[in-house]
Structure 1
């Protein structure tokens, strides 16, 4: 078997559960997937990734997730992704304002 993946949901700020059911904030309870399964989930979630938008779901190798987001650091993980969503929202607002200004 190849490398094991977990899937992070930006929409739910949690890991996908086992068998593609539910979400869990603890990595130890996240579903384990092959790379192909993780990519399948991420490309089909909410219609797939749209051009110039952050993906709603992200495949992460388990060994990387264990290194970067241990369960003990869960609050830091939530703060990080919340800040990323704010940054993306500000970027989208700037792009919309620039577009509107160019079409006046």
Structure 2
């Protein structure tokens, strides 16, 4: 099996033009739904939460980059701020959740 390369970028055509001569058909260029600035904003909101267990990036099955975080619990103020962002840009797991 040959190597395959997936690149997620905001300017897919420019990257495809630059990299296709080097990688040929092994290259898949995916246009990102989110700009890095948006992902950074989301990460900053989460980083300001004192109960963050882990914070980084993740990838959806269709190769979109997300902010991926695990928090002990999510207080209402950061939850309200995060609700302003596209839900598909955030992958969030809370360790402590309300009982049903």
Q: Structure 2 length as normaliser, TM-score? A: 0.28
Instruction: Kindly indicate whether structure 1 or structure 2 has the higher relative contact order, using CA contacts under 8 Å at least 6 residues apart.
Output: 1
More strand by share: 2
Q: Structure 1 length as normaliser, TM-score? A: 0.28
